Structure formats: structure tokens, C-alpha cells
Amino acid sequence: MVATAATSAFFPITFSPDSSDSKNKRLGNGSTNLGGFSKPSASSGSLQVKANAQAPPKINGTTVVMTPVEGLKDEDGVSSPPPRTFINQLPDWSMLLAAITTIFLAAEKQWMMLDWKPRRSDMLIDPFGIGRIVQDGLVFRQNFSIRSYEIGVDRTASIETLMNHLQETAINHCKTAGLLGDGFGATPGMCKKNLIWVVTRMQVVVDRYPTWGDVVQVDTWVSASGKNGMRRDWLVSNSETGEILTRATSVWVMMNKLTRRLSKIPEEVRGEIEPHFMDCDPIVAEDSRKLVKLDDSTAEYVRKGLTPRWSDLDVNQHVNNVKYIGWILESTPLQIVENHELCSMTLEYRRECGRDSVLQSLTAVSDAGEGEIECQHLLRLEEGSEIVRGRTQWRPKNVERYGKMGRIPAQSA
């Protein structure tokens, strides 16, 4: 049948007038002619359409009269069916063709998924953001794409975005290394004793801010810091060019989650974390200058009435340390923020604040030379208790910085 149909597409089927006349006689004068389709007959093996008798349809309660389709008329006014062609003899193949097309498209999609690989050099090496352990199992590496909602008016990533990347890689490092217990970044031994990590000092140097669409590579590792502390360093670079963007170092200590008091590192916990320590110097040279304590007489700018929102709390029920940075910058003069960019920051965390706390942000400004500005900061409770002391350095915008190199350190011999 398929072969016959295919042949008919190139060689139209001819028929004699006699056969047409005999069919017209069989149809009768009062029969309905549907565009050349006739009633089924016992002698005909081809597929034909039968006009079924149905009740007249109604639309909005009004009976609609269907007008019969008329065929061609000759000179005597006698209706005759149009010539039989290959097209009007074919059955309705649309459903079968649609099913075949759907099957082929699904198969093609599955094949492309199995054969997937990056087609462009700027695509993520780690497209799902899982991260991996590198350099003898001591360094954790993860890529981040700068999203449109993570940039500011300058079309560059905000300092809060960069700090969130640092915090995310720290947690994922513990998880990938198998050190993550039930707590937020806490090892199984820490969970048994209700211990958590808290940051006491952080130092960040930003050589250049990534822009929208950039993919940054964040490397992080840990080292010992005294007897009861841990140092964590980060190195942020452009994943495509290798350019160093940000360097950061921090010191962490343990705190009891129930008493909110600092704790020594238990031997069980020390045995969990020490195999992952690198023996190396900090990625950023320590700024040993003392952070100034501001008060109402020395602060030039004060912002009052700052309160944490529910979304500012982490799973340990204290305000996320990245939020403190935003509060510190609340009292920075707008003229500095508009014409300069933050290039370095040193923070000392003195105590935590709860969700019912009301805070004040204090800032004092001084000239650092070469067009740069230095600011002293204090974040405190309304009753006077210190939360964070800080110092920030600001450089004029659109100033290129060359020759600042950084790399993952090798362990000391």
C-alpha cells in the first residue's frame, strides 16, 4: 500500500468518465458530497470517510445548520466529484508522524546529554559548584560564577559577595574532607561537645573585583594558629586567566554553643583536624597595627538603630559574620563609596549579637596618601559593648593594580 501511494505521488491516478458516472448514479441526487469522498463500498479496498448522521450542533442554544460541501458542476448543472488524487485518498497520518517526531527528538536529547562536554573555554570546569580537593588533599577548590544579583552599581561584585564565597568554600571544604558532622562546619567530635567555630580576626586584600559573568576560582586551606586556634586562608583568582583577585586570611577559635563561652580544642577534635593542616605562612602578611577603639568624641560619622533581621541569623543562632561587614560600611560617607573602592579590610570580632540587639556603626576618616583613604570603624551595641573593630583602605576607582601576585603556598620543609 505504501509503495502504491508513493507511486501515485509522481503518477496521478487516471479514471474514466464511465466510472465517475456510475458512482454519481449510486450516490443519488440528494446525497451529500464531501469533497469527492464517497460512501464505503464492499468492492473498494481503499480507506474512505463515511458521513455519519448526527444531531445538528448547537452554539449558545442556537441550532447550527451545516451546509453540504458541493462538488464541481458540469455544463448541465450536474454535480460531479473532484478528480481523485493521491492527496485526497491518503489516510490521516498526522498522529503517527507526530509520534515519530517526538521519539526522534527525545532520542536526540538523550544522546546529547550522554555526549555532553564543555564547548567554550569560559564554561565552568565545575558546573554544579561542588568543588574538589587538590594539592595532596590539603587544598579545596571551587568555582563561582558572578551572578547579576551579586553586582553593584559599578557592575562589579560587592564585598559581601566575595565574603560569602569565602564562607561557602570553608563549609564545603569540611564537607568534602569528611569532617562535617551535624553542626554548621563542626566536626563529629565538636558536635558531641556542643562546640562551634567562630572567627576572631579576618584580613582581606582585594586586588581587583570580578564583574558580571566572570568565573572565579576560590582555593582555601587551613593551618594551626597557636595552641587553640586555626587559621584559614583563601586565594581567589580568575578561572580563565589565572589573575589573582582577592587574598584573605582568618583566625578561628571554638565556642560552646550552649554557654556561648570560648573553649580549648579537645584532643579528639585535634586528631580530626590536624591531618588537614598545611605548614605554611599566611597568604596575607599580618597587619600588626592596633585597631583604634572609637567613641562618640572620635567618630565623625555615626549610624544608629541597626537591627538584625531573621534572615541575618545562621544555623548557630548568631548573626552571620558577613552581615557585620555590611553594618560597618553603613556609616562610611557616601562620597567615599561613590568615588573609591574598598581594597583592604581588617576586622576583629569581639562578641556576638542576637536577633533582638540594636547596634550603632561608627566611622572616622583619614588620608592614607596617594589618593587613598583609610577608615577606622566600630560596631557596638547601644549600651556600649563592642561587637567588631575594623579598619578599611579605599583606593580611587578605575585604578589598575599590577605586579600583585599570589599563589597557593607549598608546605614548609
Give the active site residues.
Answer: 316, 318, 353
All cell numbers assigned to 85: 488524487
3-class SS of residue 165: helix
- Size of the chain in residues: 413
Angstrom CA distances, 298 to 197, 374, 379, stand at 33, 15, 14
Is 212 buried (19+), middle (13-18) or exposed (0-12) by CB count in 10 A?
middle
Q: DSSP readout, 9-61?
A: HHSPPP--HHHHHHHHHHH-TT---BTTB----TT--S--------PPPEETT
State which amino acid sits at residue 48: Q
Task: Collect all residues with Cβ–Cβ distance below 8 Å to 299 and sequence separation of at least 6.
Answer: 331, 362, 363, 364, 378
Count Cβ atoms below 10 Å from residue 165 Cβ, excluding itself. Answer: 24
All cell numbers assigned to 250: 582568618
Task: Collect all residues with Cβ–Cβ distance below 8 Å to 226 and sequence separation of at least 6.
Answer: none
Closest CA relative to residue 243, chosen from 220, 210, 277, 274 = 210
**Residue 32, beta-bridge partner list:** none
3-class SS of residue 269: helix
State which amino acid sits at residue 120: R
Closest CA relative to residue 319, chosen from 328, 307, 305 = 307
Count Cβ atoms below 10 Å from residue 256 Cβ, excluding itself. Answer: 13
3-class SS of residue 278: coil
Distance in angstroms (rounded) separating the CA atoms of residues 413 and 406 = 20
